[in-house]
Amino acid sequence: MVSEDEMRREKGYKIWRFFVFSALGLFLFFVPVTMSGTTSIMLDHIVTVIHKVFGENIQYYTLAIVFAGTLLPFLTKTWKQSAFNLLFTSFKILGLLIGIMVVFNIGPSFVLDENMGPFLFYSLAINLSLLIPLGGAALGLILGYGFLVFIGVLLEPVMRALFKTPGRSAMDAMALVGSYSVGLLITNRTYKEGLYNRKEGLIIATGFSTVSVTIMVVVARTLELMDYWVLFFIVILLVTFGVTAITAYLPPIRKEQKIYFNDKNNNIEENYEGNILQYAWYKAKQQSHSSRPLGEDVWMNFIEAMKMTASVVPSVLSIGLIGLIAAEYTDVITWVSYVYYPILYMFPLENVPLIAEAVTISIVEMFLPSLLVAEADIMTRFIVGVTSVSAVVFIRPDTCSVKYKFKFKSMEIDIRVVYPHSAVIVNRNTNRIINILRG
């Protein structure tokens, strides 16, 4: 039991950083600023300035990122650890070849078609190669100095009431929204420590494993939704939490066993005196002791973000091109998309076939839906953007399922999920996202 006196005695370490750095991080990500007649968040303005300063030369930087991402599996020797790793490394090699063909304008015409390779490279890959490192570095301002812990504690009663997960899962959920790599690692560690059972861990890992805020910015920028960025972000949060509140009570999650890792149940939550606001501030002050200096924190987050960028961009080019070719030259995506027609036609949507195809192709690569609807009306772009970002499972060269274990975005998680069950979760999420967006 944490007493009110103990909470008052906790002074924290350089607690001014909670206010200054958190405010700076929120400003960079969420405050619209008008510059040169364009209203957007500061992070997006910074990327625009970089584009203007370096011009066409920025494509060589992106190509270097693709090359580094392709070379990394060979330097770390991970390419030969399994058949999956070998396959995914092959996709990265293909991504490098596509990048070279686009930048130097050589290769087959179907790759150089302006709606194929160049569209992927110049509209998506370049933005990813800039936004992920910059956003990753800036995200530490929100994650590292107590703000995330403070909000997480305030959300604890919501987690218990809506999702039937322990109060501490609020901090995991907020970390997943801020940075899924951090959130998933925290969730997996907490599960292995016996603080979550398998059902609770599954709800948290799948229900709140949306992409990071930085990737949301890339999607919004690709779909020209930056004028509505704050609304876009809020709707994603509402949809993600709302859908999880429903799917947590439906099969297959509802039938998941409430067993603990190695039968070790240590699920005892900390009790406290006083109100929840006092306790949230106490936990934020506690976290301040483990916060790194700003320069070190920004640099560490930047390095991690660069690694992620090198992993993501080659796969976007390869899987993205394969998906675009499948959508353009075959009827496979169209046939599969028919399953969504009954749901979509319940609402007054103008582009039902296009939305259905975009939702279908999202399980292949979460960026592809944005590319398919980039020229559509704003309602279609908004719905598809939210749906693709809110999906909990999709295939990418750094994501795979082996022996019922998932690698969520490059990390193996010990919470086991049978793949067909994950597809059921995705499909139900998609249906409810459309319902929520349409009111």
Q: Look at residue 418 in the predicted model and tell me its pLDDT.
A: 46
Q: Look at residue 108 in the predicted model and tell me its pLDDT.
A: 93
Task: Scan for tokens 């107590």, then name that residue.
Answer: 146
Q: Look at residue 67 in the predicted model and tell me its pLDDT.
A: 96
State residue 281 phi and psi, 5-degree precision.
-65, -35
The more confidently predicted of residues 174 and 422 is: 174
* DSSP state for residue 263 in the 8-state scheme: G
Q: Read off the pLDDT of residues 315-347 as tens digits, 9 standing for 90 and up.
A: 889 988 998 888 888 888 899 999 999 989 998
State residue 199 phi and psi, 5-degree precision.
-65, -45
- CA–CA separation, 78 vs 76, rounded Å? 5
Whether the predicted pLDDT of 178 surpasses 70: no
Q: Read off the pLDDT of residues 68-117 as tens digits, 9 standing for 90 and up.
A: 999 999 998 888 888 878 888 999 999 999 999 999 999 999 999 988 99
In the chain, the percentage of residues whose pLDDT exceeds 90 is 26
By the 10 Å C-beta count (0-12 exposed, 13-18 middle, 19+ buried), 182 is classed as: buried
Whether the predicted pLDDT of 392 surpasses 60: no
Q: Which residues contact 349 (CB under 8 A, 6 or more apart)?
A: 355, 379, 380, 383, 438
Closest CA to 210 of 225, 232, 195: 232
Q: Look at residue 402 in the predicted model and tell me its pLDDT.
A: 27
Whether the predicted pLDDT of 383 surpasses 90: yes
Average pLDDT over residues 214-220: 86
Average pLDDT over residues 264-273: 76
Average pLDDT over residues 21-42: 87
State residue 34 phi and psi, 5-degree precision.
-95, 120
Q: Look at residue 249 in the predicted model and tell me its pLDDT.
A: 84
Single-letter amino acid, residue 203: I
In the chain, the percentage of residues whose pLDDT exceeds 70 is 84
Whether the CB-CB separation of 355 and 378 falls below 8 Å is answered with: no
Cβ atoms within 10 Å, residue 274:
14
Hey, CA dihedral for 413, 239, 196, 4, is it positive or negative?
A: positive
On the CB side of 197, CA atoms within 13 Å amount to 11
Average pLDDT over residues 246-253: 82
Cβ atoms within 10 Å, residue 404:
11
Whether the predicted pLDDT of 126 surpasses 90: yes
Whether the predicted pLDDT of 423 surpasses 50: no
3-state secondary structure of 413: strand
Residue 257: pLDDT band with limits 50, 70, 90: confident
Cβ atoms within 10 Å, residue 111:
17
Residue 359: pLDDT band with limits 50, 70, 90: confident
Q: Which residues contact 434 (CB under 8 A, 6 or more apart)?
A: 343, 344, 347, 383, 387
Q: Which residues contact 200 (CB under 8 A, 6 or more apart)?
A: 164, 165, 166, 169, 191, 258
